[in-house]
Structure formats: structure tokens, C-alpha cells
Amino acid sequence: MRGLGPARHLFVRTDNVVPALKRFGGAAVVAAVALTAVALVRNPEALAQVSWRVFGLKFLLYGMWALLLQDALVLSFSLVRLEAALRPRFGPNAGWLACAGISLVFGATHAPNIPVLLISAPAGFVIARLFLTTTNLAAAALCHATLGTVLHQIVRLPCAAAHSILGATSTRAMRFSPG
């Protein structure tokens, strides 16, 4: 799988970690600030209502979930193969097309949760594009975990709680994926 480092580094690619963290970190900061601004417009007390202990725990658990399952499967496995399949026909545009296809898949996995779908599809495109240019799965998972945690803990979309590993009150009404 592309984007992983050696076992002695806990499978984190260390040869490009700084540039990858700069790229993913910049995107994560911009998106997190935008999501927080939306949350503050909707509820001026949004930040005061956050349990930062829970925020940190969800970030850690979400990061493991994002890295181990979602990003490894979607980015390191599927995106790389889709780009390789499209390259003979579309040449240098194959990466852009593969990212568009993966973003549709990533968004669709959040159906029927429309608010999360509408946020995750474009976020999936950006994360996929950044992954193709950096191939660092750990940086992608940190970005994904940051945005997912901000979405759950600060924005608090009515449907977003079931996506989190901890404490959904009603997973039937707040479905994250088709299962």
C-alpha cells in the first residue's frame, strides 16, 4: 500500500513527513477555521460548549479509524489503483479524475446523511489530491481526523454524532454510512 513507511517507524513515512504535514496541515487549518466560523454563526456559544477532553479522545480514536480503515482503503489502495488505471487514457489528468471519482465514493459512503455528504465529498477531493502529491498516509489521516472531530464536536451537525466512535445517541436517525 502506498503512503506507508517501514514497521520500525510504526508504518509512518518519515522521508516526507514535514512537507506532507505542511500541506495537509494548511488545508486542515483552513477548513477547521471555516467550519468553526460556521458553528459560531449558528451558535455563538459553540466553543464554550465543547468538552475538550472528549474532543481530544475523539480525535485520537477518529485518527486511528481514519488511518486504519478509511484512508488506507480509500487513498492508499483505491485512489492509487484508479489513477494507474486512468493514466494510459487520460495522461496527466488521470490524477484529477481519480480524485474526483474517489471524492464521489467518499461522499456516497456518508449517505443518507446529506449535511455530512455535502462536506465530505469536496473534502475527500482535497485530501485525495494532497495524498497523490505527498503519499503520506499518516498526514492524510491526521487531516481527516482533525476535520471529522471539528465537525462532530464544534459544528455538531444533527447527523454527525453517529460518525464518531464515542457516544451516538441514536444511530438509526444519525446514520453515517449505508450499514
pLDDT tens per residue across span 84-95: 999 999 999 999
Question: Per DSSP, what are the bridge partners of residue 4?
Answer: 12
**Distance between CA atoms of residues 83 and 1, nearest Å:** 14
Name the amino acid, one letter, at 81.
R
Residue 92 preceded by cis peptide, ω within 30: no
pLDDT tens per residue across span 59-112: 998 877 777 678 888 888 899 999 999 999 999 999 999 999 999 988 888 777
Name the amino acid, one letter, at 163.
H
**Beta carbons within 10 angstroms of residue 7's beta carbon:** 7
**Beta carbons within 10 angstroms of residue 136's beta carbon:** 27
Within-domain flag for 11: no
Within-domain flag for 26: no
Within-domain flag for 39: no
Within-domain flag for 32: no
Radius of gyration of the chain (CA): 16
Within-domain flag for 44: no
Domain count, the chain: 1
Position 51 pLDDT exceeds 80:
yes
| Whole-structure pTM value | 0.80
> Which band of pLDDT confidence, cut at 50, 70 and 90, is reported for residue 4?
low
Within-domain flag for 86: yes
Q: Which domain holds residue 71?
A: 51-179
37 vs 113, residue with greater confidence:
37
**Distance between CA atoms of residues 84 and 23, nearest Å:** 23
Flag the least confident range among 113-127, 136-150, 152-166. Answer: 152-166
Within-domain flag for 23: no
Within-domain flag for 28: no
DSSP H or E stretch at residue 130? helix 114-134
